[in-house]
Amino acid sequence: MMITVKGLRKAFGTHVVLDGVDLNVAEGAIFALLGPNGAGKTTTVQILSTLLRADAGEVFIAGHDLNREPEAVRAAIGLTGQFAAVDQVLTGEENLMLMVYLRHLERSKGQNRVRELLERFDLTDAAKKPVSTYSGGMRRKLDLAMSLIGNPRLVFLDEPTTGLDPRSRQTMWQLITELAANGVTVFLTTQYLEEADRLANRIAVLDKGKLVAEGSPADLKRRISGGHVELQFADVAGLDKAVQSLGSAIRDDNALTVRVPSNGSIGALRKLLDQLDSAAIPVTGVSVHTPDLDDVFFALTTQPDKKEVTQ
C-alpha cells in the first residue's frame, strides 16, 4: 500500500471538515477522491502532503508514519496544488531548476531531467519565458512537471483540470495516464465523475467529510444506474402535482424543476411524459442528463438543500 489512512479527522474550530476517513491506495494506482466543493478534498490532500496536521487518525505514506517522519514523507511525494504554485517571475526552466536545487540533485543530472520534462510537457519553446506570460494550461503543466523533479513515488494532484479549457484538460489527462504507466502512484481529487472515470482505477466519494462510497469506476456507475431526466414546470402547483404523480423524485422549488432517475432512453422518456400528460400536468421543458457527480450524490447521499420525496 502506498497510502493507508485510518480514522482521519480534522475540524477548523467547530466546523468538522473530515469526520473519520479511511483510505487505502495501492502502489501504482490512480486513485480519485471525488466530491463537491467543501467536501474536504483539499483538506485531505493538505494533510497527506504534510501541510496540515490532522486532529486524529493514522496515516502511513510510502511506509512512513506521517506524524513521526514527515521529512521522509516529503521526500517521497510531489504536490500539485489547486492553484498553480509556480513562480511567476522566474522562467519555466528556472522554476524547474529551483526544484532541482531544493531536491538536492546533482546539477548536470538535474539539467537533463529538466530538459526531458520540458520536452515531454511540450514546454521547450516557452522554457526561457517568464511564467507570467504562460496560459493557464501551460502553468498547470509546469506545476505538474515541477512536482516530478526528484522522481517522487507518489504525486498528489488537487483538482488538476479545474478551470482548464477542454484541450488542456485532454493534455493533462494524457500526462497523468503516462505518469501512472511509469509506475508513479497518483492521488487526485476532482469534482467531475467523468475525470475520475477516465483516469482512476479506484474512486472514493467524499461528502461532508465522510466517505460515502469506494470502488472501481464500474462499481460506482452500477450503483448510480443511469442518469436522470429534469422536468421544468411553470409554477409550484404543477411541481406539486408532478411530484405526487411521479413518486420518487427530487424537487427544486426555486428552479421549479423535478429530477427523476432515468436511463434516458426514448421509451422511458415517452412513458414519463405520457404519465404526466394523463395527469394533465403541463411540462414546460425536459432535459436528459447522463450520469454526473450530482447523480452519484443523489444515489449515495441526502442533500439538505433539496427535499427528497419518496412515496
**Residues forming the site for another protein (CB under 8 A):** 42, 46, 49-52, 71-72, 74-75, 77, 79, 81-90, 94, 98-99, 101-104, 130, 146-147
- The side-by-side arrangement of strands in the sheet containing 249-252 is 285-289, 228-232, 257-261, 249-252, 307-309
CB-wise, 43 or 257, nearer to another protein? 43
CB of 133 to another protein, least distance (A): 13
CB-wise, 124 or 162, nearer to another protein? 162
Distance CA 175, CA 181 (A): 10
CB of 108 to another protein, least distance (A): 16
- β-strands 307-309, 249-252: how paired? antiparallel
CB of 268 to another protein, least distance (A): 41
CB-wise, 28 or 130, nearer to another protein? 130
Distance CA 294, CA 291 (A): 8
CB of 84 to another protein, least distance (A): 7
For residue 269, the surrounding DSSP H or E stretch is helix 266-278
Q: Check the CA dihedral 177-152-81-126 and report its sign.
A: negative
Distance CA 17, CA 9 (A): 8
CB-wise, 146 or 200, nearer to another protein? 146
- How big is the CA angle at 233 (ends 231 and 235), to the nearest 5 degrees? 155
Q: Cell 409550484, residue?
A: 236
CB-wise, 135 or 177, nearer to another protein? 135
CB of 178 to another protein, least distance (A): 22
Which residues lie closer than 8 Å to 94 by C-beta, 6 or more apart? 87
CB-wise, 37 or 310, nearer to another protein? 37
- β-strands 307-309, 257-261: how paired? unpaired
CB-wise, 85 or 309, nearer to another protein? 85
Of 291, 61, 300, 304, nearest to 204 (Cα)? 300
CB of 51 to another protein, least distance (A): 5
CB of 87 to another protein, least distance (A): 6
Which phi and psi (to 5°) does residue 8 adopt?
A: -75, 125
CB-wise, 50 or 257, nearer to another protein? 50
- β-strands 228-232, 202-207: how paired? unpaired
- Write out the three cell numbers for 31: 486513485
- Write out the three cell numbers for 202: 479506484
CB of 82 to another protein, least distance (A): 7
